[in-house]
Structure 1
Amino acid sequence: MTRTRLLAALVMAPIAIAAILLLPTPWMMAAAAVLFLAGLWEWFDLAEIEDTLSRTVLLAANLALMVAIVWASRSSTGYTYVLFQLASVIGVVWWLLALLWLQRYQFASNHESYARAFKLAAGALSVIPAWCALAWIHAAQPNGHRWLLTALAIVWAADSGAYFAGRKFGRLKLAPRVSPNKTVEGLAGGVLAGVAVGVSFAVFAGARPEQLWKVGLVALVAVLFSVVGDLFESLLKRHVGVKDSGNLIPGHGGILDRVDGVLAALPVFALGKAVLGF
């Protein structure tokens, strides 16, 4: 499994990096929308929406909201990113609320309509703010594309660091009811890897030496939020009794399995970057 996981990552990583660094922001937003909405389609499975027509309508509604945000952001001089910034703040607030949901494991765990409604709302609050944060980061000047790569590299490094540290040193369970394989040692390895990569990539993105501690702090918080995103998806999978959100990516599961941490980390990184000014 580890070999398959690495091979899949070696194929996906160059494509993702090329898109981030080479595509103009509108095209990057379009590519990210396709990826995130594909993850949302898998989310519908976890929310037990089985009817194809219902899923299609729900997906179209989320796409329409993305389009509406873009349309409403037009101005006489180009685009304003106020709505994208507001959505990012909403995303951070949502993931803080998700922590409360994680503490109440049984909440919305049944198969009633209200449980599906909560999970569908959670899907929209996860995907749309993350997409808005991605656009906000990528469009920022200077070097927005490099800062987006930095944000994503933090999550990728944290995920890999947690995986290997957990396999090597894992003893203390982090959240056994939600995700039995996650350990405190894995979390520590993920934090160290994410912060180290974040600071290193920040130099590439143009951060000044006196700003690196700020990047490290935001990277730390982003990693912790990425863990919340990962655990929340695990909670949804536990509720419906599945191991992966899909099987599209060899060794990695579905698309949502790859972007769950990203969904939570991007709004935090975007907001932290703006507040601390790097």
Structure 2
Amino acid sequence: MALKVREMGLRAASAIVLAPLAVFAVWLGGVWITAVMMAACVLLAMEWSRMSAREGWKPIFGAVGLALLAAVAVTHATGLSAGLVLMVFGAALAGIFARSRGLSMTDAAYGVLYIGWPAVLFIWLRDGNSAAGFYWVTLTFAVTWSADIVAFLVGSTVGGPKLWPRYSPNKTWSGFLGGLAAGTVAGAAMSMLPGAGAPSLWWSALLGLAAAAAAMAGDLWESALKRRFGVKDAGAIIPGHGGLLDRVDGLMFAIVVVAAGRALFLHFGGVA
């Protein structure tokens, strides 16, 4: 119990420091959020490379990092389509480079796609300095953080059957359901953000539910990846959380779902 209390304290302290910085960068938007995203991509590329290619991680870090930086920069400058094309091209080049070094082609290419998809979609979601962009990105943060915190609290308090014991023995069905409920409520609440031109409360609640499920799936997926590579944490940069990848694994999946939600909203005549 004392260990759980200490872990919760570290998580809370990290969140108190990181959350305002993240929200401030999102509020600024434009080149500022792109700069933050590029810095995050460098750290994530390093963690991925050290986790997936322990002996030869430095050249893989260079290849994966350059591919990610190029994709984010092009997305900021010209738009989502060009960024996605460059990301796929960069993944192929990183894989070919890894193979030339006698390392896993698949792991290097997958690292670019795994980190790159949410990175370029995040820039697209923020949409420069628009109020609607602030709504979409803030919704993603609110849903992911709410789902993560409530899932941890409910799972630790209620316990019960394990969700996926093979890869993540601490996660429970009670925590999963609590996280879904929290994400749904957070999504509904975000529809009231002033000036965002957001969809209806019910639409935002449904998107919050889907994004919360994606966030927790992302957490489980990263647990499976760490088990595959034989590591406990992706890094040690954030107290109570391990590496940056350990902190944003759920957010990465949630971004993809929210981006799909925005695309549907635009398709059906929404203005966002």
Tell me if TM exceeds 0.5: yes
Letter in 2 for 1:118: T
1:189 aligned to which of 151, 174, 178? 178
The share of aligned pairs that are identical, in percent, is 33
Task: Give aligned pairs, total.
Answer: 246
Letter in 2 for 1:33: M
The residue correspondences of 1:110-125 to structure 2 (distance < 5 A) are: 116-125=104-113
Distance 1:6 1:117, change over 3 A: same
The answer for the alignment partner of 1:101 in structure 2 is none
Tell me the alpha carbon deviations over residues 31-86 of structure 1, each in whole angstroms, 9 at most, x when there is no partner: 11211331222111221243223322332233233334445x2xxxxxx4444588
Distance 1:18 1:29, change over 3 A: same
Distance 1:81 1:61, change over 3 A: closer
Letter in 2 for 1:224: A
The answer for the alignment partner of 1:126 in structure 2 is 114
Please tell me whether residue 26 in structure 1 is matched to residue 25 in structure 2. Answer: no
Contact 1:143/1:205 (8 A) holds in 2: no
Letter in 2 for 1:133: L
TM-score, normalization: structure 2? 0.81
Greater CA drift, 253-262 or 217-226: 217-226
Please tell me whether residue 10 in structure 1 is matched to residue 3 in structure 2. Answer: no
Output the CA distance in 2 between the equivalents of 1:266 and 1:174.
Answer: 23
Helix, strand or coil: the match of 2:191? helix
Letter in 1 for 2:34: M
1:201 aligned to which of 145, 165, 190? 190
TM superposition shift of 1:258: 0.6
Helix, strand or coil: the match of 2:163? strand
Output the CA distance in 2 between the equivalents of 1:8 and 1:270.
Answer: 27
TM superposition shift of 1:135: 1.1
The residue correspondences of 1:1-278 to structure 2 (distance < 5 A) are: 1-21=7-27, 23-51=28-56, 52-71=58-77, 73=78, 80-83=79-82, 116-139=104-127, 141-204=130-193, 206=195, 211-276=200-265, 277=270
Distance 1:29 1:242, change over 3 A: same
Output the CA distance in 1 between the equivalents of 2:209 and 2:29.
Answer: 28
Output the CA distance in 2 between the equivalents of 1:35 and 1:25.
Answer: 16
| Structure 1: runs of 5 or more not aligned | 74-79, 91-112
TM-score, normalization: structure 1? 0.79
Output the CA distance in 2 between the equivalents of 1:35 and 1:166.
Answer: 29
Aligned-residue CA RMSD in angstroms? 2.5
